[in-house]
Amino acid sequence: MPITIADVAARAKVSKTTVSRVLNGKGELDESTAARVRKVIEELGYVPSSRAVGLARGRTRVVGMLVPSLTWPWIGEVLQGAVDVLETERYGLLLFTCNRGEESMRQFGAQVSAKSFDGLLVIEPEGTLDYIAMLHARGLPVVLIDDRDVQPGQIPSVGTTNHTGAGAAARHLLEIGRRKPLVVAGPARFGCTVQRLDGFASVFAEAGHPVSPDRVLQGDFTIARGFELVQAALESGVEFDAIFAHNDLSATGAMQAVLDSGRRIPQDVAVVGFDDIPMAAHTQPPLTTVHQPLREMGEAAARTLLAHFEGSPLPNRPTVIPATFTVRGSTGVSPEPDSA
């Protein structure tokens, strides 16, 4: 039979309330009594219920995390960063996805009502921002990761430098002689899409090569859509010597369309992505891309939440971790000089 708090109390000749106070560090106790209780706990090998201890302390020592789906290729990196911090501080993680739509959100809402976790990390599932903002306004500590279009001060967030990262992609393409890029954009409703498009287009415009609207193709962050858009551009006769895709999946599809047409990468068309997911290093050729600090974003979000549990106020300004630029084979060769 498992050892119970009653067994400890009987052996130490104290009440169960006294044992509970020793476990939770609450209340004034005679030091000799506390020492005797701790010795009995050690002798019996008593392990208290983490849930019971959490309730006694007013905390669960569990953090919730809400994400759209685990199939998104970069979510694993963010998740690992958060888990590394939480496990180090002896917190658990309760993970929720929205794979089943409204049913998933009902189950999530039930756990919120049951106060199953102390705070929430969120990679926003589409259409949930108002609900998340309401939870935060009602007192649930929330930190958004990769915020899409959140007003400063509304909900604490951790993100990266989408605008400057895209600008770095543009400067790199200009440096290797590319002047006629296509842009495979993300969904227009996402803040990161607007930031990446503006950062890229502004650098080309400053260099005297504005990106016309007909060169911006409306993608959806998938391989299939990246392929379809670039294939259609090739079939329509659009001339381009570079592609900037708003994520690595779109870039992968775009590369396949280019290669299927008989063109070479990077000699004929240079390709740049965004995210630097693990597969980016293994495309053929390997993909030049803007590196999002995904694991670091997860770590920073978790640390922000844990610091709040210890009394620090949640920040009212976004935490921004700079993106970096990784050059690989998809832009590694300058265009060959014209024979004329």
pLDDT > 70? residue 27: no
Beta strand 181-185 pairing with 157-160 = unpaired
Q: 55-59, 261-265, 329-333 — which is least confidently predicted?
A: 55-59
Mean pLDDT value across the chain: 89
What is the reported pLDDT for 54?
Answer: 58
Structure confidence at residue 274 as a pLDDT band (50, 70, 90): very high
Structure confidence at residue 317 as a pLDDT band (50, 70, 90): confident
What is the reported pLDDT for 20?
Answer: 83
Identify the bridge partners of residue 185 per DSSP, sorted by sequence position: 218
Helix/strand/coil (H/E/C) assignment for every residue in 145-203: ECCCCCCCCCCCEEEECHHHHHHHHHHHHHHCCCCCEEEEECCCCCHHHHHHHHHHHHH
In tens, the pLDDT along 72-84 reads 888 999 999 999 9
User: Per the confidence metrics, is the pTM higher than 0.85?
Assistant: no
Structure confidence at residue 191 as a pLDDT band (50, 70, 90): confident
pLDDT > 60? residue 336: no
What is the reported pLDDT for 151?
Answer: 55
pLDDT > 80? residue 26: no
* DSSP-derived secondary structure letter, 48: -
What is the reported pLDDT for 254?
Answer: 98
Mean pLDDT of 285-314: 95
Question: If phi over 0 gives left and psi between -120 and 50 gives alpha, with beta otherwise, what is residue 177?
Answer: left
Sign of the Cα pseudo-torsion (69, 251, 187, 192, in order): positive
Structure confidence at residue 25 as a pLDDT band (50, 70, 90): low
Give the integer Cα–Cα distance in Å for 264 and 268. 5
User: Between 239 and 57, where is the model more confident?
Assistant: 239
User: Between 5 and 294, where is the model more confident?
Assistant: 294
pLDDT > 90? residue 19: no
User: Between 226 and 148, where is the model more confident?
Assistant: 226
In tens, the pLDDT along 30-70 reads 888 888 998 998 888 887 665 555 555 567 889 999 999 88
Structure confidence at residue 339 as a pLDDT band (50, 70, 90): very low
**213-242 burial string, b = 16+ CB within 10 Å, else e?**
eebbbebbbebebbbbbbbebbeeeeebbb
